Chain A
Amino acid sequence: MSDGYSSDEMMTVSAARVLRDGLTCFVGIGLPSAAANLARATHAPGLVLIYESGTIGAKPGLLPLSIGDGILAETADAVVSVPEIFNYWLQPGRIDVGFLGAAQIDKFGNINTTVVGGDYGRPEVRLPGAGGAPEIAASCREVIVVVRQTRRSFVDRVDFVTSVGYGSGPGDRERLGLTGAGPRQIITDLGVLEPDPETLEFTLTGLYPGITIDAVREQTGWDLAVSASPQVIAPPTADELTALRDLHARSNTA
């Protein structure tokens, strides 16, 4: 907590700001869902929220705990089956932005939500698995990842590629036939990382107020490059904070 807001609030506000009004957004649960709902509650009332439960154009007004809460179906423009949401809506590239979380992410934006350590059959840590993420990462026009930054979660190479970012570098997405452009930003609780245009390696391009480059490097498991002049991102406005806290308050009492 600094200056009256937490690092998680800064992260959520920062992520919400990248969602322009009128976009269609395929939303993962947790941090991405909080940011997408904040965007809809503030500057992007026309943002179309799509959840993998088949709810298209959901307008929940509070933060759902799961991707299938009743409020999503009750407020949606359309509710379709799960095969339909993936086959008709996601696969053809109709969705502008995929908004994903991650347990582990590497310098090329590949995401691991499957296993950490050991081998696949007998891992040290068994994570939940893929869910909708591999195809969201492949087929949305672009992807934004929202994740807390720690040395454990930001690694040189992920232990398991659940969802592909830029693979092992330039040319991989094209070679693999992935139709979307891939991850455009990783938004963390310390700042913002974007792919270097040449190498596609994620580079620090934005810092939150009071966060130093060294502090970000400290929480990065690869030799993090920094753009020539990293932008200092504006702190949350009073309106943003109020809207976010309202969403949380209504969720906790619902």
Chain B
Amino acid sequence: MNTRLLDLVLVMLVIGTGFTWWLGETGHAGPAAVLTILAIAGVKGVLIIREFMALRGVKFFWPAMVIGWLLLVLAIIMAAYWRGL
């Protein structure tokens, strides 16, 4: 594992979390806010899966299953919010 990369991922995850929290605190709502928040969650999730879980470079099936789960769940949430907004 590349420790510098792990540190960089940590910084990105913290920034993403801070931005998500800020969007909530400032009352951002609606389709654009939901899309932005889910996109941030998606990027954070992929970073965790690839770098912390160390699935980067692993046989295709495993990262495909976990990243596929992440994208499917985010897509379902997006669709449900879109209809409910």
A binds B: no
Q: A residues engaging B (CB < 8 A)? A: none
